[in-house]
Amino acid sequence: MDLTLSAVRAFVAVARAGSFRAAAVSLGVSQPTVSAAVKRLEATAGRPLLIRDRDGVRLTELGGRVLAHAAAVATAAGELEAALAGDSSELTVGFLGEAAGARTSRLLDGVRRASGREVRLRRFDFDDPACGLLDGTSDLAVVWPPLTTGDALDLLVLGSDRRAVAVPAGDPLAASGVLAPADLAGRVWVVPRSPDPVWRAFRHPGSIGVTDVADEVESGAIEETLELVAAGRGIALLSQSTDEHYARAGVVFVLLADDRRCTTAVAWRRADTRPVIARILAGL
């Protein structure tokens, strides 16, 4: 069986990045190297793990099942390399730009107390809503569910926020007290550009019942989303806390009717059985 660590790591990187080019950049190798590594893994499987098309790549049914195991292998290998190098003093907590704020700060304090270690905070954008957990970059992460993770991750909800729509300050919607889906028909929306279909769908206007969408403008990060809204390029589905952490001139947040909510959660790899992780989670 031609199963190598480089092939596993390449597959995980491509699956998370959504393209061979982005995966090659993240791994620091050439694109042909990544392509050849993934082909070796697919040859071992005897079936395709990825579907290639002009929009990038997506997982086959088998690929989705394999990803959870491949991510666990990549993570374990990374931890082994760190242990062999004698580097066990630092933990990395990933967080999504939208999830920054008081909850992230409280989690960091809890991690420091429970682990007695230095903690490194690393920020991620829409290209990796799992915040480095699936490729082993992070030990824990503050995320905004739902996520496409299969059985790879476990989550503990830290709290919830009201969902809101960010609109340009001069837009008639800005004067509204609350907004219902019917009020949002026929508009251009700023939507996330992300390889995670479940995460992306929850942040699409269709998730709140808006079926009449005039057009979509993609964004790769929360700051880019707010800049596009401020420039009048569209409106965006975000949260009330986003307004608190990223107050932006020219952007008004209007709450959705019916107390619609989204959650913030701490996530970790299910296969991560280190005692330090168990101590941290027990203290949350």
**CATH code (residue 148):** 3.40.190.290
Pick from 110, 157, 138, 115: nearest CA to 16: 138
Indicate whether 63 and 93 sit together in one domain.
no
Please give the structure tokens belonging to residue 125.
């954008």
Domain that holds residue 38: 5-84
Please tell me the least confidently modeled range out of 103-112, 145-154, 173-182, 269-278. Answer: 103-112
Residue 261 binned pLDDT confidence (cut-offs 50, 70, 90): very high
Q: Which of 34, 51, 84 is the last residue before a domain boundary?
A: 84
DSSP for 202-254? HTSGGGGT---EEEEEEESSHHHHHHHHHTTS-EEEEEHHHHHHS--TTEEEE
Tokens 């031609």 belong to: 2
The mean pLDDT of 79-92, rounded to a whole number, is: 67
> In the listed set 84, 113, 143, which residue is the last one of a domain according to the structure?
84
* Per-residue model confidence (pLDDT) at position 192: 95
Q: Which of the listed residues 40, 69, 84 is the one where a domain comes to its end? A: 84
Number of domains in the chain: 2
> Do 138 and 269 belong together in one domain?
yes
Tell whether 27 and 149 lie within a shared domain.
no
State if pTM tops 0.85: no
Query: For 143-148, what is the mean pLDDT?
Result: 91
Tens of pLDDT, residue by residue over 226-259, are 999 999 999 999 998 888 777 788 999 999 999 9
- Together in a domain, 70 and 100: no
pLDDT at 83 over 80: no
